[in-house]
Structure 1
C-alpha cells in the first residue's frame, strides 16, 4: 500500500487534497534565532493502533529537521517510542523515575538521539505501575507538569506520546500540555471513541488546565483506493472542520520497517511519500502557530 495521499485537480490551478480543501504545500519555516520555551503537545487517543507513536517519532524528527529543538516524551509503558528510535531502556533512568522523585534532575532521563536536535525521555514497563504508586499523591495530575517544567526552557517543542487509555497518565499529559493532537485512523471504529476523548479534554480544560487547546485531528492510515477510507475521512472533516489537519498520513509498510531499524521514516526512506507527509505536517503545525 502507498504512503502517499491522492490529490485531484480542480480547474487548472487549484489542487484539492483528500480532506476536500485546497492542497497547500506550506512554506519551509525559517530558522529560529533562539530556542525555547517549548510548547508542549500531547498526542492522545485511547484507541490503540491509530498511529500515535509513529506520529510522535516522525513529527519530532521532522520538526528537528527544520531546526527545532525537540524533546519526545515516551509516556506509554510499552516503550514503543523509545524502541522506535533505537533506545534500549534497560537499566536506565526513565520518565517513571522522575515522576516518583520529582526532585531528581530531569536531565538524568534525557537521551540524545542520533537525530540532530531530537532528545527523548524514555519509558519502559515500569511506567505501568505509575497509576498505582501515584493514586494517593497530592496533586497527582500535576506530576508530569512539574517534571517538564525543569527542561521546558531548553526546547522549542515537547511531544508527549500517550498510552492508549484515558487514565491518570493521560490526564497528567493533558494537564502538562498546551495543545492536543489526536491521530485518528481512517476506519469507522476509530470514530466511536473520539467523543469520549473530546469530553475528557474538556474536563481537563475545566478543572485542571484552562489553557489547553485542541490543536487538531490528524487522519492516519488513509488508503484513497478504498471507499470506506474516503467516507470516514469525509465524516471526520464534516464533524471537526478546520480542526482536521490538511496533511493526511497514508497507510504503508515503510513505517514498521523504519521502526525495526530504529530510525524515523524521514531517515529510513526520505523520498517516500510518507516521509514527505510528516515533513509537511511539521510545516503545517508551524503555519498554524502550534509550533514556533
Structure 2
C-alpha cells in the first residue's frame, strides 16, 4: 500500500504565534495578539507517551485536535497510533480510514475491551505515513452498558501488555475520547500519561470545564496518579474579551499546562470531508500552523528534545 507522506510546515515567522511565559494583563485591547502561554511549571513530554484528547462537551474540536497533533508528530518522524474511543460518532475512524486486510476478522477498540484480541491486533494502517489507528463504531457503546470486568483499566492493561513485549511499537499514542464522562472515557484517562483539553471559545464550554476538572482529579486520585493536564487548546479562537477571560481562567485551573490558541479556520472544518488532515488539505491555513506549533510545544521534535 502506498501511503501519503505528511508534509513539514515551514511557514514564515510572521505566521507563528509568540510564545510567552506570562501574559501581560495591562496590554491594550488594540495591541493584544494571540500568544502561547508556556508557564515555568510546564514540562514538555518525551516519547513514548500516551495522550488523551478529552472534553465532555461536543463541538470543542476534539477530533480535529487529535488528528492534527497526530499528523504533526508523524511529519516530525514519530511513529503514531490514534485510538478512536468515541462511540457516539466514531468521527476519527471516518476521517482517518483504517486500511483493513482483504481477509480475516476486523477488530476494533470494542474487541480489546472484551478480550477478543490484543491492542496490536486491533491496530490498522491509515493512508498516511506514520499514523496507524485503532478504529471504533457504534458497538463500542456495549462497553458502557455491559461493563466487562476491569473495563476501567482495560485500555491501561492492553497498553501494559504491549510494553511487556519489549520495545514499544509506537512513540506516541493519541486517544480521542468521547464527549461524555462515561466508562470508556474514564478508561482512556486511566491509560494516559497526559490529558490534552480542547475548549471552544464560548460560555458553555467554560461551564463544562468544572465537571471535567472534577473527573480528572478523581482519576488522578483513584486510578492513575501519573495523569497530568499537559495543555489546554483554545479552539475557534478569535480576538475578544471573552477569549482573554477564558484563557486566564484555564491557566488558573491548570497552572502546569500550556495554553494554546488555535485560530478559527473555515478550512479546518472542510478537511474531514476531504478525508485528509488539515496540514495536507490546507497547509497554509492558520489552523494548520497553530496545530503544528502546538505539537512542537507539547512534544518537541527529536532534535529539539
* The two structures share one fold, judged by TM-score above 0.5: yes
TM-score computed with the length of structure 2 as normaliser: 0.78
2:59 paired residue number: 49
Please state if 1:83 is matched with 2:98.
Answer: no
Supply the RMSD in Å over aligned alpha carbons.
Answer: 3.2
Q: Give 3-state SS (helix, strand or coil) of 1:220's partner.
A: strand
C-alpha contact 1:5 1:248 (8 A) present in aligned 2? no
Provide closer, same or farther for how the CA distance between residues 254 and 264 of structure 1 changes in structure 2, counting only shifts above 3 A.
same
Per-residue CA distance 1:232-290 (angstroms, 9 max, x = gap): 33443354445242x3111122122110011100111112121111111111012499x
1:126 paired residue number: 139
Please state if 1:105 is matched with 2:109.
Answer: no
For residues 260 and 57 of structure 1, what CA distance do their matches in structure 2 show? 13
Please state if 1:39 is matched with 2:79.
Answer: no
TM-score computed with the length of structure 1 as normaliser: 0.81
2:107 paired residue number: 93
For residues 231 and 180 of structure 1, what CA distance do their matches in structure 2 show? 22
Q: Give 3-state SS (helix, strand or coil) of 1:175's partner.
A: helix
Match of 1:243 among 241, 257, 279: 257
Unaligned runs of 5+ in 1: 23-28
Number of residue pairs matched by the alignment? 268
Provide closer, same or farther for how the CA distance between residues 227 and 112 of structure 1 changes in structure 2, counting only shifts above 3 A.
same
Q: CA deviation at 1:223?
A: 1.3
1:261 paired residue number: 274
Provide closer, same or farther for how the CA distance between residues 93 and 138 of structure 1 changes in structure 2, counting only shifts above 3 A.
closer
* Runs of 4+ residues over 6 Å off in structure 1: 4-8
Provide closer, same or farther for how the CA distance between residues 156 and 6 of structure 1 changes in structure 2, counting only shifts above 3 A.
closer
